[in-house]
Structure 1
């Protein structure tokens, strides 16, 4: 190639902001109704003192999204295909099924988030049906699905940043206390304050390993090659910066104006802001909430559908039939569970416990698979992880194991025992009722 041709090729290369995208998609799936509620609850309860937790969570998210981006950039085959060759198809299918059920559980929350953003302005209870129908139209109506999703997510990220930033501006947070909140343990009431359920909920909704795993697919859809590794690193940094900014803005807004309030759902946050900021403040929050819920709504369903399809050997690209069919399955599962909750007003306890139990197994497995693949010289060649990256990723893996143990011991097992106790009580009551009925008949 001549010098003139080489220079022309270099000059025609898009700007760095045109070469990123997968990180924006990942940020959208992480910032959903669950993370908004968790960060609002922490801000209302502990003020600014837990900002450091956000930074630690997004740091480990950066580690694993970087691993995912590097894997998708360097390798030619899909992630589950590589994994099946290394550990076998059965374990790969277990991971795929686990991610699918985790996505389905998140999807229920996304549907409720969309409904909460709409219910302040309309009594129509079937808005989520319309938005699921729109999502299905996107899914089956566009050939270049990734390009469409990337553009949509860019718009949603901009809306979230603007909405929550304006809310924070009017909240007038204490900047000194915000700065002190970066220091671990500063301003908290000791270990009990640090090790609380809300805090672990924030870590769980920010350090989302299934989204990091899916980053390897997004990098491949983007068309990145080995020469684009730098773009992948920049993209991952931008992604976690957006996650951190939005989460800290939401937490700080709650710390400034919602201190001491009990927040049981995302609609409570918007309703609590209305008397303080007026209708405009509530509208801004609902725009941010809707953007977070609906962006996560689309991408989260793709994570579950694509990874399950690929784990089964049915394809892992937007062009494959089964990726779209299984993505639709996630969408419809979330919609029907969401409608059940909206109509009945009760939570599907069995489904929630089952999803938590799956998370206990699937999240560490997915993290371990990502770490195993990116550490393999056979898979990555000269681009395999270095010692420092492996140490940091291993610490993140231990963190996931700790969270899995906590969820299993403090949430899943007590709920199972409670349900078993309730069913036993019903069995004991039934014979008594039968005996009374027979006596009355006699």
Structure 2
């Protein structure tokens, strides 16, 4: 079991203990989740939960917008990079900015931010095969990497990652559409 799995189990146990004392046997909505923090932190528990939810949603929006900007910039052969100023890579910066502005529209229309965040992460998983497949070709092209081409084991690892991404894409999108949060 990983450290993250241990934390997840701990959160589930704490949630079960705290929410059961409030007569909540099933969590149907994220509005019930601050109740876990209120007994320990009081009113600040609610504030901490709201801040955590806002940070998670904003972080997901930034991640998706940044991924979109990288994909478009790489696809069109534009200059891009973390260490470059916006004036040095205007296409990348424009796509990033427009993606963030477009991401705000569903929230302004009243879409549940948590559902939108989860759905956007499912779309990110669906895009994994599209971003990894080019590496399979590049890492085997002798013109680019010379004698450092991938071997059988490395190619198997990349193919496994592509297959895993494909499975995630096939599973997560329908689950998000038909299964709710």
Shorter chain as denominator, the TM-score bin is 0.5 to 0.7
Deviations 1:57-113 (A, max 9, x none): xxxxxxxxxxxxxxxxxxxxxxxxxxxxxxxxxxxxxxxxxxxxxxxxxxxxxxxxx
Q: Specify every segment of 5 or more residues in structure 2 that has no aligned partner in the other structure, as ranges.
A: 17-24
TM-score by length of 2: 0.65
CA-CA distance at 1:407 after TM superposition: 4.1
For 2:166 and 2:174, locate their aligned partners in 1 and report how far apart those are by CA, in whole Å: 12
Instruction: State how many pairs are aligned.
Output: 163
Residue number in structure 1 paired with 2:77: 313
For 1:339 and 1:408, locate their aligned partners in 2 and report how far apart those are by CA, in whole Å: 23
1:308–1:393 CA distance, 2 compared to 1 (3 A): same
1:256 lines up with 2:13 in the alignment: yes
1:298 lines up with 2:94 in the alignment: no
1:332–1:286 CA distance, 2 compared to 1 (3 A): same
**Alignment equivalent of 1:401, drawn from 154, 163, 166:** 166
TM-score by length of 1: 0.31
1:316–1:257 CA distance, 2 compared to 1 (3 A): same
Q: Provide the secondary structure at the position in 1 that maps to 2:145.
A: helix
Match runs of 1:181-200 below 5 Å: 182=1
Q: Specify every segment of 5 or more residues in structure 1 that has no aligned partner in the other structure, as ranges.
A: 1-181, 183-243, 416-442
Match runs of 1:47-62 below 5 Å: none
Match runs of 1:27-66 below 5 Å: none
Residue number in structure 2 paired with 1:274: 37
Deviations 1:158-194 (A, max 9, x none): xxxxxxxxxxxxxxxxxxxxxxxx2xxxxxxxxxxxx
**Alignment equivalent of 1:385, drawn from 150, 175, 179:** 150
The alignment's C-alpha RMSD in Å is 3.8
For 1:263 and 1:340, locate their aligned partners in 2 and report how far apart those are by CA, in whole Å: 22
Deviations 1:352-410 (A, max 9, x none): 69x968964x3322222223322333322233333333223322222222223334666
Larger radius of gyration: 1
Residue number in structure 2 paired with 1:195: none
Structure number with higher relative contact order (C-alpha < 8 Å, ≥ 6 residues apart): 1
**Alignment equivalent of 1:335, drawn from 80, 101, 104:** 104
For 1:249 and 1:282, locate their aligned partners in 2 and report how far apart those are by CA, in whole Å: 24
